[in-house]
């Protein structure tokens, strides 16, 4: 089984019942295709980068699950047909490392003091 992440955006003005029906449908598709749902998060209502279907805001949902390619095809088909869904995107994270964003070591610059400023010209003269 492969690991997948799906993010879908719903219309912001939907009632709790409508939101529950969409999320329940997604979980039903996963269970029907013998997948395993690990996480379903509501990221809340956020401003969109550009209007979609005359909507400037959208309610974001994150879904993390395991399954086969037939599961993805059916889930995306159902999301595409649902008018409550503005956008969706699924990615395969099977081959990605656990932490996709590498940790960067940040170098902290030296604190600038009067002594450092006075030493700097002397260091430049010594280099010449």
d(CA 121, CA 55): 59
Whether 120 is covered by a domain: the verdict is no
- In three-state secondary structure terms, 75 is helix
What pLDDT sits at residue 101? Answer: 47
Question: In the chain, what percentage of residues exceed pLDDT 70?
Answer: 76
Residue ranges making up the domain that contains 80: 2-92
What are 6-24's pLDDT values in tens digits? 999 999 999 999 999 999 9
Domain at 68, CATH number: 3.30.70.60
What pLDDT sits at residue 113? Answer: 47
Q: How many structural domains are present in the chain?
A: 1
Handedness of CA 43, 45, 49, 55 (dihedral sign): positive
Whether 107 is covered by a domain: the verdict is no
What are 31-67's pLDDT values in tens digits? 999 999 999 999 999 999 999 999 999 999 999 999 9
Whether 40 is covered by a domain: the verdict is yes
d(CA 58, CA 42): 11
Whether 63 is covered by a domain: the verdict is yes
Is residue 76 within 8 A of residue 4, CB to CB? The reply is no
What are 75-111's pLDDT values in tens digits? 999 999 999 999 999 999 988 877 554 445 445 455 5
Provide the β-strand partners of residue 64: 5, 39
């Amino acid at each position: 089984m492969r690991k997948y992440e799906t993010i879908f955006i719903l219309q912001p003005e939907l009632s709790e019942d409508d939101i529950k029906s969409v999320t329940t449908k997604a979980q039903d598709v996963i269970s029907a295709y013998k997948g395993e749902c690990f996480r379903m998060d509501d990221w809340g209502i956020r401003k969109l980068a550009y209007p979609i279907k005359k909507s400037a805001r959208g309610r974001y949902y994150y879904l993390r699950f395991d399954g086969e390619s037939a599961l993805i095809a059916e889930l995306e088909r159902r999301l595409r047909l649902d008018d409550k869904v503005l956008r969706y995107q699924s990615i395969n994270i099977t081959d990605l490392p656990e932490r996709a964003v590498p940790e960067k070591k940040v170098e902290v610059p030296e604190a600038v003091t009067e002594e450092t400023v006075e030493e700097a010209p002397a260091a430049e003269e010594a280099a010449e």
